[in-house]
Structure 1
Amino acid sequence: MIAAVSALGMTAVLGGCGGAGSGEVTLKLVAADYGDSGANSSQKYWDNLVAEYEKAHPDVRVDVSVHSWNDVDREVKEMVAAGDAPDLAQIGAYADYAAKGELYQADELLSIPTQADFVAQLADAGEVSRTQYGMPFAASTRLLFFNKKLFAEAGLTPPTTWSELASDAAALKEEGVKYPYALPLGPEEAQAETMQWLLSGGDGYTSEVGTYGIDSPQNIRTFTWLKDELVDKGLTGPVAPGKLDRAAAFAAFARGEVGMLNGHPSLMKIAAARGVDFGMVPMPGKESSTRSAMGVADWMMAFKKNGHRREVGDFLDFVYDEKNVLAFSREYDLLPVTASASKTMSTAARDKDLAPFLEELPTAQLYPVGKTSWAQVSADIKQRIGTAFAADGDPATVLTELQKQANSEESAE
């Protein structure tokens, strides 16, 4: 989802005990890194959290290994396949493990107050067949960022409709802006930019009954407009959308080279550090501002293989304590996944910059993470969607091919 990159590793399972006769339990947690440098690596967050927990629980040790978002889901998958599942994994998808019966249910682990404190929409997204297995760990929403200086120089106001966005982009191009609208559809996070545009056109990845609807008429119209009115008119910059990754687009925005792009909260810190004066507005829609923003959640899950249900549950109650949820959210400019922390953040002066994103969360649309096929469908989108905007690309053809692949993945489950 959501922010920067990490690096995953694994530590040896100690068989549920420490030294001979000690009765000590060691839990293994694999987590993703939300930091953008060694100075704010998630490893430091977890090390501090674990030290505090272990001080109060001398019979439990927690080994945390933190690694890159580029690797973490694949690494956990390989660990599970090798019979070396961690006790806990904090990664991007849970449903495939839940469907195979490899995860504890949330209500088998958490105290009632902890489970009840999850933001309802996120808790629902953690369900497979109406049973919660995925515990939300981090969340974010997206807004349209714009460079105030570039907009002022071109005499522009922030867009609320597609036609205004295209008009603004054309004016920015006339002023010599390198990326009037940055469209990152490279393999790093193309599924996010894709979903934001599908929502702005009034549809999304799935139909009202929950089946995939990637090639719906609305989605085809949305992507056809995007290619005809932005990409083919040279309004998305010198790098082809299918070659432009989110991190590169964010870096270009921080250099003052981008007029507009979709961004999540971490972009605020990146841009501010480089002195970029920016504004944020809801994503424009076909006729007006998009009714539903895109939301992203990352997940905590607990594997049954090593047992330790009681110890895992007690540790998770600590992880989801309000002060710890707030500390993590504030460190990495993310949105809290619990109602108690959200309430605190919504009124705290120190968190006012996150308020626009927090306001979007209750109505935000999330990826269809409850589908066991979503991990593979997402990977397919990352690899293929950019080809729709090549010089000889055809959005309808690409969306139809992705729909066929999604149907195949769904029927194989």
Structure 2
Amino acid sequence: MVSALGMTAVLGGCGSTGSSDVTLRLVAADYGDSAANSSRKYWDALAKEYEKQHPDVKVEVSVYSWNDVDRKVKEMVDAGHAPDMAQIGAYADYAAAGKLYPVSDLLSIRTQADFLSPLSDAGQWKHTQYGIPFAASTRVLFYNKTLFDKAHLTAPTTWDELAADATALKAQGVQYPYALPLGPEEAQAETMQWLLSGGNGGSGYTDDVGTYTIDSATNVETFTWLKDELVGKGLTGPVAPGKLNRAAAFAAFADGRVGMINGHPTLIQQAAKKGVKFGTVPMPGRTGRARASMGVADWMMGFKQNGHAEQIGDFLDFTYNEKNVLEFSREYGLLPVTSSASNTMAASDAPADKALRPFLEQLPTSELYPVGKTSWAAVSAAVKQNIGQAVAPGGSPSGVLTRLQSTALAADSSSVN
């Protein structure tokens, strides 16, 4: 599995064990890609520091790769042995099943108030927050400065400018003028960013009250434009968008074969390692800057089974202090989920912090997947499998989006939202 933030990881393992008045069990995902930067080190140090201040509480941490962590937690819950806390990719199913504490039962008012509002809002199920944002990311448009300079181009601010830039890049022999990864790995992300950029009516997957609007007129117009003006004119490269996965598109950008691509912060390091000179700008919209950037988050939650609300809340208040949030965010190139840490990072002149500034600026007004709907997992899977057909030769944007809307409504009616 890949986290919502597009991070992959390969490690598993457990933290320390021991006995004390209360033992809190935390299962967490690994954001590292090697033993050297495993999240295990972060959590072990955090737990040790907390235990030093709270000798009556023991924090037992298990860290698993994104391939395993959601399944591990599900197995624990199904077996009647839920952890006290889980830091994983989704919370809504557990909230709907009545297994989670509301955030207001756990965190201090000060901690609750510090979260960025789009993230707190996305953590709600039935208007009550159960999901606590843990790590966040946004998307911006990356462009290859070397290729743009060679073609005498400036970064686009509208769809027409993006198409014109892509046309000029193609004339220069650029393999992927605009990389459009609509393959099954992460097509729901590229899709949402384009839906949000489709003018004032661009609502993403849902409207303001959470009703699916996948086949809205604006969304159909957006995918019709993509099909006719980018894909149909050969501006998206040699691999059909429906076959192009995000990881392959990122790798091609890092190899200097892509002119433009929507990317999240991990692409900064990936491109820099290969020496690619790049710039970033907000995602262009139909007639100007997109209404909103797509935000994504991974989640922390507290399970009710063991009845440790007070201890869970105190540990999480500690976890979410500014120092700890900044330390985790900086270690993995992610965005802080709290206002205090975001403000500190935004004011920092450290090169790594400055590199994240374009993403940080997008976060307060970003829109997230409808993760508070228990139907979202099924809808996301359907988008991944089918959206590429909307821009394929002979494909029907209207037909594909209408079928996806039907799938979404059916999933919605059969789930508890």
Range into which the TM-score falls when normalised by the shorter chain: over 0.9
Amino acid at match of 2:79: A
Q: Give the Cα separation in 2 of the matches to 1:408 and 1:39.
A: 45
Amino acid at match of 1:6: A
**Alignment correspondent of 1:410:** 412
Unaligned runs of 5+ in 1: none
Per the TM alignment, residue 362 of structure 1 is displaced from its structure 2 partner at its CA by: 1.6
Q: Give the Cα separation in 2 of the matches to 1:230 and 1:329.
A: 35
Q: Give the Cα separation in 1 of the matches to 2:238 and 2:36.
A: 33
Q: 2:60 aligns with which of 63, 66, 88?
A: 63
**Alignment correspondent of 1:232:** 232
Deviating more after overlay: 4-13 vs 111-120 = 4-13
CA pair 332-392 structure 1, distance change in 2 beyond 3 A: same
Q: Give the Cα separation in 2 of the matches to 1:48 and 1:54.
A: 10
Per the TM alignment, residue 157 of structure 1 is displaced from its structure 2 partner at its CA by: 0.9
Per the TM alignment, residue 335 of structure 1 is displaced from its structure 2 partner at its CA by: 1.3
Deviating more after overlay: 81-90 vs 163-172 = 81-90
Q: 1:389 aligns with which of 388, 391, 394?
A: 391
Q: 1:2 aligns with which of 1, 5, 9?
A: 5
Matches within 5 A, 1:84-123: 84-123=81-120
Q: Give the Cα separation in 1 of the matches to 2:63 and 2:216.
A: 39
**Alignment correspondent of 1:357:** 359
Q: 2:140 aligns with which of 118, 140, 143?
A: 143
**Alignment correspondent of 1:275:** 275
Deviating more after overlay: 346-355 vs 388-397 = 388-397
CA pair 64-398 structure 1, distance change in 2 beyond 3 A: farther
**Alignment correspondent of 2:127:** 130
CA pair 288-313 structure 1, distance change in 2 beyond 3 A: same
Contact 2:11 2:35 in 1 (8 A): no
Per the TM alignment, residue 10 of structure 1 is displaced from its structure 2 partner at its CA by: 8.1
Q: Deviations over 1:25-47 (max 9, x none)?
A: 33222222222433322222222
**Off by >4 Å, runs of 4+ in structure 1:** 7-14
Tell me the TM-score normalised to structure 2 length: 0.92
Contact 1:126 1:134 in 2 (8 A): yes
**Which secondary structure state, in structure 1, belongs to the residue aligned with residue 163 of structure 2?**
helix
CA pair 78-100 structure 1, distance change in 2 beyond 3 A: same
**Alignment correspondent of 2:307:** 307
Contact 1:7 1:66 in 2 (8 A): no
Per the TM alignment, residue 200 of structure 1 is displaced from its structure 2 partner at its CA by: 0.8
Q: Give the Cα separation in 2 of the matches to 1:250 and 1:285.
A: 22
Per the TM alignment, residue 62 of structure 1 is displaced from its structure 2 partner at its CA by: 2.6
Matches within 5 A, 1:168-317: 168-202=165-199, 203=202, 204-317=204-317
CA pair 161-408 structure 1, distance change in 2 beyond 3 A: same
Q: Give the Cα separation in 1 of the matches to 2:246 and 2:67.
A: 13
Contact 1:184 1:190 in 2 (8 A): yes
Q: Deviations over 1:309-367 (max 9, x none)?
A: 22211211111011000011111121111111111111111122222211111211111
**Alignment correspondent of 1:44:** 41
Amino acid at match of 1:399: L
Q: Give the Cα separation in 2 of the matches to 1:63 and 1:87.
A: 10
CA pair 8-387 structure 1, distance change in 2 beyond 3 A: farther
**Which secondary structure state, in structure 2, belongs to the residue aligned with residue 349 of structure 1?**
coil
**Which secondary structure state, in structure 1, belongs to the residue aligned with residue 229 of structure 2?**
helix
Q: Give the Cα separation in 2 of the matches to 1:169 and 1:291.
A: 22
Q: Deviations over 1:184-221 (max 9, x none)?
A: 11222211111000011131111233200001111111
**Which secondary structure state, in structure 1, belongs to the residue aligned with residue 377 of structure 2?**
helix
Q: Deviations over 1:101-152 (max 9, x none)?
A: 1101112111222122111222122122222111111111111000000111
Q: Give the Cα separation in 1 of the matches to 2:208 and 2:123.
A: 18
**Alignment correspondent of 2:51:** 54
**Alignment correspondent of 1:347:** 347
Amino acid at match of 2:280: M
For the aligned residue pairs, the C-alpha RMSD in angstroms reads 2.1
Unaligned runs of 5+ in 2: none
Contact 1:9 1:30 in 2 (8 A): no
Identity value in percent: 69
Per the TM alignment, residue 2 of structure 1 is displaced from its structure 2 partner at its CA by: 1.1
Contact 2:141 2:262 in 1 (8 A): yes
Q: Deviations over 1:340-396 (max 9, x none)?
A: 111111111112222221111121111112222112212221222223233343222
**Alignment correspondent of 2:402:** 400
